[in-house]
Structure 1
Amino acid sequence: MVPTWWFVPVRRATAPPHGRAGDYGRGMSTASDHPEPTPTVRELADAWVETLADLDPVVATSLGVRPGDDRLPDLGPDGLAALADAERAVLAALPSARVLDDDDRRCAALLRERLETRLALHDAGELLATLRPVACPVHNLQSIFLMMPTATPDDWAVVARRMARVADAAASYQASLAEGLRTGVRSAPRQAEAVAEQLTQWLSAADGAGWFADFVARAGVPTLEGELTRAAASAADGVAQLRDWLTATYLPAVADVPDGVGRDRYLRSARSFLGTTVDPEEAYAWGWGELARIEAEMVAEADRVRAGASAAEAFAYLDAAGAAIEGVDEVVTYLQGLMDDAIRDLDGRVVDVAEPVRRVEAMIAPPGAAAAPYYTRPSLDFARPGRTWLPTLGRTRFPLHDLVSTWYHEGVPGHHLQLGTWAYRSGALSRFQTSVGSISATTEGWALYAERLMDELGYLEDPGVRLGYLDNQRMRAVRVVIDIGMHLGLRIPASAEAAGFHPGATWNAELGEEFFAARSGSPAAFVHSEVVRYLGWPGQAISYKLGERAWLAGRAAARRRREATGGSFDLRAWHTAALGLGSLGLADLERELATL
């Protein structure tokens, strides 16, 4: 999973550093005696990234630019409105931008689709109801510090100034949620409860010292100790106030909000993750069929783990007696080696890996993170490498069946290889195509494809590891079924694929958890966390499988095209070219992949 900053709309509260004016048209023609030429699409898109960095300091830090920027976003209604105004201005300028080549053509389609999708969410008020346990705007008030430079006293001085602004940023987010209450756009109780619990974890981390205090304690800069301590205390107070307001005010006000968002809201949200409009009924039916196919494979693989065992029995055996890594430090070392080995093995044989992309770091996730592993991108200059993050959830033993294919997904050849390549190519493409214009179906689809690729290449021959891979595939098919089913209130079919699971019943959160638990090898706490996440992030969960479907279809079409003309299909060349395309919507992705 890749956390996204794209859904964190903000505005500049104070003048940005380095004299940037924050105008999308910076560098474009103005009324003067020497008007500049009309920009190309890529120039317009790059100017838009600069504007986003002006408006949203999280974007700048994520990209690794403006390291001295100590601002935090205005997450309030005024910030939402300011960003929407800027987005409309770019859309107005786009038709006159010059299209020089295919990269410009793809960039124009992406820029239009992303801006129109985001404005549709804004105009419907959806950005006033963004509580969820992953990629919620308030999470950036923790994660931004993990992306900041901390090598020098000057770096820590920036951290101190930015941390002192956390309380104001949290208050501005509260203002947006309050506006949502006023206008009737509300998150469901499960989402508010989940975020309040995460904030409590921040506050109680490090044996009660709190996450912010624990973070600044590592500075080791005596001259800044007082400033850092005060900033951490202020940040903790701001987080505590937001948590208490969620519990005392927000939760009672949303007690009647259903978990599912309904068809119209679902289609708006799903488009933001797919880059196109989905046919939910077709995807729902396809998800059932894909689930049946995967489970048939799991029967055979479970028998290889233990003769005659069901999948559930095989997982119970693997959890108790299968191969595992003991210790938190040890699992970091193992995961680092897994990714380093994959880069060495695949480079030049399956894909070409640029030198800067060869560096990736395995990390342990901070307290209060989501239950699932995730990846964070490198900065554009690679000063901050790409990183995978493992939430330990209190564990010190890590079964291999639950790790290997997941790290091929999060690390190499998954998210890191794609997003690292994008960062490497950000000078040739627009920064928008390789960073803030990302579409989940393109990135999560590639990462799921990467797991399948490693299976095709023979890296998952161990029965337990391969059963874990199939379980990951099954989980993504389950996501398609229950995400669409719960949000649209569809009925469970009386079919062989459903295997007698409540035939004819209407999906709800409780049935979603029951189904997920029955069709996965995951513990109850993870199952609950996942279902709450799907309900708070409508349409994101389907982007994995639908994205993988597009990658596979594009590869198959490219192979057929090559072979139809008597040529041979070069998998290494195809992968290298495909990763160099940058972000695309789902329909555009499949079409472009077929031409490579």
Structure 2
Amino acid sequence: MTRPVDARTDQYVEDVVALDPITATFAGIAGHDDRLPDLSPAGFDARDELQRRALAEVAAIEPVDERERVAKEAFVERTGLEVEKIDAGFDRSAFSVISSGIHAVREVFDLMATETDEDWQTVGDRLAAVPTALAGYRETLEAEAAAGRVSARRQYVEVASQIRGWTGQEGASGDYFGNLVAEAPEGLRDRLASVAAAASASYADFGRFVETDLAPQGRDADGVGRDRYALESRYFLGAEVDLEETYRWGWEELKRIEDDMTATAQRIVSGGSIDDAVKALDLDPARDCGSREGFEAWMQEKADTILASFDGVHFDIAEPIRTIACKVAPINDGGAWYTPPSEDFSRPGTMWFSFTDDHEIFSKWRETTTVFHEGVPGHHLQCAQVVHRADLLNRWQRLLCWVSGHGEGWALYSERLMDELGYFDDPGDRLGFLDMQGFRAARVIVDIGVHLGLTIPADNPFGWRPGEVWDGEKVFEFMRAHSRMEDGQLGFEVNRYLGWPGQAPSYKVGERIWLQARDEVRARKGAAFDLKEFHTAALDLGSIGLDPLKAALGRL
């Protein structure tokens, strides 16, 4: 059978990776690892034109069956929003501590193979391309700034500091690119050291440009305003939500979770507070991995155990998906994330964890829920399953489509599922789960609040700063009051929210929509509802906007 949607979107994949080799590497598509994209205005023009052409052509295709109908809806929704962001005029200038061209260029090296001499030669070729890529990106940011399109000053200052850390000018990580090639074969080391030094120098120079040229032009205000935020929210969720209602729900949800935390803390320290319970857990040597290496080994053992116990019970896990790698990242920015397997599964799906320089406790109780979120049944089952299902999903769906609300919502739903299944019977692990649930609920409040310039409700359940207007300093104060995170990591998190509008709420709002979707299917199917079948059917749709997800599940 001719499948026109699949054929056109498969061609789109080839067109995208030809223009953007970083995307090829992240997607595990071979043949592009020696290059970097053109980050100059001309390069952005070419990628923008590709998006517009593909959107128009796929929108005009008549799907041949339900599977293609879902694929078309997903593509039109995603690419349509990409084009909306381009048309809104802030896509190229967007620059934050977690998302920019310089982050993408550095991060792609984490995923490159280094097993053979040929692998190292490929690494060297890509390293040699770094100065040109950054020069093009500088040209783009200069053009955007000249047109008055800039990010907040805070983001420029913080990214300049990150670059000093990556290049060994400050912090404990050392020179990222020099460290990268330190283990190269002796016969290749001289050339690799030379191109690594040039890459590091170009990063250091770019950091000075960011601090001295861009930062003085940056916006004073961290908030982006309602129009941009509404678009960013739709992009990250794949759904349109009532922002004021979601803001109110965030306060209610945080209160519900913290009431649960108070009760759980009583099981750890009788008569004690949440802080008393946290202190007791942090002082328990059995709950501390002791080192980065110990934490990495613990993550791996935990993920492997859950994979083995879930297969055939709560999920059907195909053989290629039964392998996950768990790694402590070679940078000290903080945070946890997942990278999917390569198309041929030669590179396994990988859960990453990054510690900040001031990290002292390598806690199990805080991060058990993170293993479930990033690993199983979270991102690993979701993303690796999508890569595996070539029989159901086209190449674009499997390798390039990602919707934060769908993906992060599923991962947070997975944490909730593990609570339902009894995996948080230990009160310490459960307090860690609730702490992160509350952290994500607080992010809904601060992200919408600061970017829309909202007033803190006079009747908020914590009696905190009633009637005041949100700003960046209040965001940090509120998150500090409602999390147990170290200041270094919390500072990164807050800067991330301020510079990446709409992304942080996609976790908790995405979970809310996933739970609503499950409830609707359960109500419709009644006694015939099967949780394992629901999960299989939902994940087999691939990553998809949450509005199209609910529509597709409604047709099952």
TM-score by length of 1: 0.90
2:536 to 558, 561, 576: 576
Residue identity (%): 40
Bigger mean CA offset, 205-214 vs 144-153: 205-214
SS at match of 2:91: helix
Shift of 1:60: 1.2
Structure 2 Cα separation of the partners of residues 57 and 40 of structure 1: 26
Select 1:185's aligned residue among 124, 149, 165. 149
Match of 2:338 among 371, 375, 389: 375
Shift of 1:295: 1.2
Aligned to 1:530: 493
Give the CA deviation at 1:66.
Answer: 2.7
Quick one: distance in 1 between partners of 2:363 and 2:351?
A: 18
Letter in 1 for 2:196: A
Amino acid at match of 2:215: L
2:183 aligned partner: 218
- 2:420 is aligned to 456
Q: CA deviation at 1:53?
A: 0.6
Verify the 8 A CA contact 1:274 1:586 in the aligned structure 2: yes
CA shift digits 1:439-489 (9 cap, x unpaired): 000000000000011111111111111011001100111011000000000
| 2:160 paired residue among 192, 196, 205 | 196
Does 2:230 correspond to 1:267? yes
Corresponding letter in the other structure for 2:540: G
**Separation in 2 of the partners of 1:427 and 1:164?**
39
- Aligned partner (choices 578, 582, 585) of residue 545 of structure 2: 585
Instruction: Mark the CA change 1:365 to 1:451 in structure 2 (over 3 Å): closer, same or farther.
Output: same
2:303 corresponds in structure 1 to 339
Once residues 236 and 426 of structure 2 are traced to their aligned partners in structure 1, the CA distance between those partners, rounded to angstroms, is 34
Matches within 5 A, 1:490-529: 490-497=454-461, 499-529=462-492
Q: What CA distance in whole angstroms lies between the structure 1 residues aligned with 2:400 and 2:463?
A: 43
TM-score by length of 2: 0.96
Q: Match for 1:590: what amino acid?
A: K
Residue identity in the other structure for 1:219: A
Q: State the AA in 1 paired with 2:297.
A: T
**Bigger mean CA offset, 90-99 vs 100-109:** 90-99
Unaligned runs of 5+ in 1: 1-36
User: Which among 97, 101, 112 is matched to residue 137 of structure 1?
Assistant: 101
Match of 2:362 among 376, 390, 398: 398
In structure 2, how many angstroms separate the alpha carbons of the residues matched to 1:235 and 1:138? 11
Name the amino acid aligned to 2:75. Answer: L
Which residue of 21, 28, 32 maps to 1:57?
21
| Alignment partners' CA distance in 2, 1:591 and 1:474 | 29
Q: What amino acid is aligned across from residue 581 of structure 1 in structure 2?
A: L
**3-state DSSP class of the match of 1:204?**
coil
* Secondary structure class of the residue paired with 1:197: helix
Give 1:92-131 correspondences, 5 Å limit: 92-131=56-95
Who is 1:41 aligned against? 5
* 1:48-447 correspondence runs (5 A): 48-67=12-31, 69-204=33-168, 210-220=175-185, 222-254=186-218, 256-321=219-284, 323-368=287-332, 370-394=333-357, 395=359, 397-447=361-411
C-alpha distance 69-389 of structure 1, shift in aligned 2 (>3 A):
closer
Q: Secondary structure at the match of 2:289?
A: strand
C-alpha distance in 2, partners of 1:296/1:187?
38
1:540 lines up with 2:540 in the alignment: no
Shift of 1:307: 1.1
Say which SS state the counterpart of residue 402 (structure 1) adopts: coil
> How far apart are residue 595 of structure 1 and its match?
4.7
Deviation at 1:200, TM superposition (A): 0.9
Equivalent-residue separation in structure 1 for 2:32 and 2:399 (angstroms): 20
- For 2:172 and 2:251, the matched residues in 1 are separated by 45
Is the 2:173–2:331 contact (alpha carbons within 8 Å) kept by the matching residues of 1? Answer: no
Cα distance change of structure 1 residues 426 and 182 upon mapping to structure 2, 3 Å threshold: farther
Q: Distance in 1 between matches of 2:338 and 2:65?
A: 32
Which amino acid in structure 2 is aligned with residue 265 of structure 1? R
**Any conservation in 1 of the 2:165–2:172 contact (CA below 8 Å)?**
no
Partner of 1:12: none
Looking at structure 1, the residues matched to 173 and 555 of structure 2 have their Cα atoms a distance apart, in angstroms, of 56
- Matching residue of 1:555: 518
Tell me the SS of whatever aligns to 2:352.
strand
The answer (yes or no) to whether the contact 1:336–1:361 under 8 Å persists in 2 is yes
Per the alignment, in what secondary structure is the counterpart of residue 388 of structure 1? Answer: strand
Q: Deviations over 1:510-550 (max 9, x none)?
A: 11111111111122222221111001110001100111111
Please give the alpha-carbon distance, in whole angstroms, between the structure 2 residues aligned to 1:299 and 1:397. Answer: 23
SS in 2 for 1:132: coil
Aligned-CA RMSD value:
1.8
Give 3-state SS (helix, strand or coil) of 2:369's partner.
Answer: helix
Aligned residue pair count: 553
Deviation at 1:496, TM superposition (A): 4.5
Query: Partner of 1:258: helix, strand, or coil?
Result: coil
Q: What letter corresponds to residue 56 of structure 1 in structure 2?
A: D
**Is this contact kept in 1: 2:372–2:414, CA < 8 A?**
yes
Q: CA deviation at 1:427?
A: 4.7
